[in-house]
Chain A
């Protein structure tokens, strides 16, 4: 199964270290989401003064963390895989699979970055707001975050591709 594969994992790379450090910081967003949720419940049930911002704030905090967590799981090679066949390949076939893996992943995140860039550009130009009770530019921010998160994954995929190709060349 997807036991992390240190030969592929990039946690020792500058980009891997950066991703890890970034996610350590961002993980506190979940804690803030818990705190603001508790605040809403107390304000609404206890004081009969519901807020209009907590639900949207909780979504924005968690969504931002979700986006960058994709790269974090990449660094540690923890994305869900079925490896029963992969594990029975010869080492050389496995390295070739790793190259294919890196190429396809790169294809996906490059395509996603392209789309996210157009999406974010359009939203930021309008300073698009949510149109909800708490009418702030969360869409413009989150769409930009999706772009940054996918770009991070592009860099991680290139790094991974280079490593796999080097190993293939070494034989």
Chain B
């Protein structure tokens, strides 16, 4: 036997935030396959889809309890435990694309802040993983910020709701399972929901034919995070390998989701859907509005303030804010 085989294989259960069978879950499964190969079978991660073991809101507790070893999920779901996680997860209108926020994590201090926050929960934050850029399926064209005034729009999360409320939208908090029917019947006129590719698959554009694309309001970061004892039990080389694999996972997710979005944009246009692309000017107005919401949110905890200050400085360096 080779020396590597003699070493004990570590088996992990890792639950994601993705429905089984989606492109996102496929990217996650591929990541687990690569980790196993790169570690020469020393780290074998079982890729569990959302809800398999616990609900998506419960993966942090499950890691603390030793039920799950790791998760691939995101800050916005856990902002009720620490408000700063909302700002780590999704500024709602901060960056133009995920690569900019990846820069903040790697070179702007984001990674250190994220690790400090998760350490409170006995969890090691390995690195960010993106979803892609979200769209807004809408029943009528919403070309400017002003068009959102009085629009009934489904937004459940706290910070997102705060931003859209400032834009004048009537925020509705329906759960995900009711969004389709509500949008179809006109209970709501728009929804903060999914990427263009996902929405095209689910048939949203047939009932709400004016999606925002390319999106900008939301590009949630999720992460690979591991229960701290499980992380500490890894040998140094496997730890570094997992960090590098996570960086590649982030890139893979951004690009494969974007490719799906390109395909979906083509298909949507062919069926007569109008893709609404906001001008740079409108985007800037939206960002200014959002900034006030972040500032308010940052008062919720000292950690939230630190995350806000760090990102604000970085957004200025990127010249996205004056």
Contact = CB atoms under 8 A, between A and B. Distances in A.
A–B direct touch in complex (beta carbons closer than 8 A)? yes
Interface of A: 44, 48-50, 52, 54-56, 118-119, 122, 126, 128-135, 139
- Of A55, A129, A132, chain B has the most CB atoms within 10 Å of the CB of A132
Contacts of B162: 133
A114 to B, nearest CB: 12
A86 to B, nearest CB: 35
Interface in B162-212: 162, 170-175, 187
Nearest to B160: A133
Contact of B80 (A55, A119, A122, A139): A139
Interface of B: 61, 64-65, 76-82, 86, 150, 152, 155-158, 161-162, 170-175, 187
Contact of B170 (A50, A118, A128): A50
Nearest to B76: A131
A99 to B, nearest CB: 33
A119 B57 CA distance: 13
Nearest to B172: A50
Nearest to B150: A48
Nearest to B82: A126
B158 A135 contact: yes
A128 B173 contact: no
* Residue among A48, A119, A134, A135 with most chain B CB within 10 A: A135
B117 to A, nearest CB: 12
B61 A56 contact: no
A146 to B, nearest CB: 13
A48 B156 contact: no
A49 B78 CA distance: 28
Given A48-B152, A50-B152, A55-B175, A126 B81 contact: yes
Given A50-B170, A52-B161, A55-B173, A128 B152 contact: no
Nearest to A49: B170
Nearest to A55: B173
A130 B161 CA distance: 13
Contacts of A128: 80-81
B44 to A, nearest CB: 28
A130 B57 CA distance: 10
A55 B174 contact: yes
A129 B77 CA distance: 11
A162 B172 CA distance: 51
Given A119-B61, A122-B64, A139-B80, A132 B157 contact: yes
B66 to A, nearest CB: 12
Contacts of A135: 79-80, 158
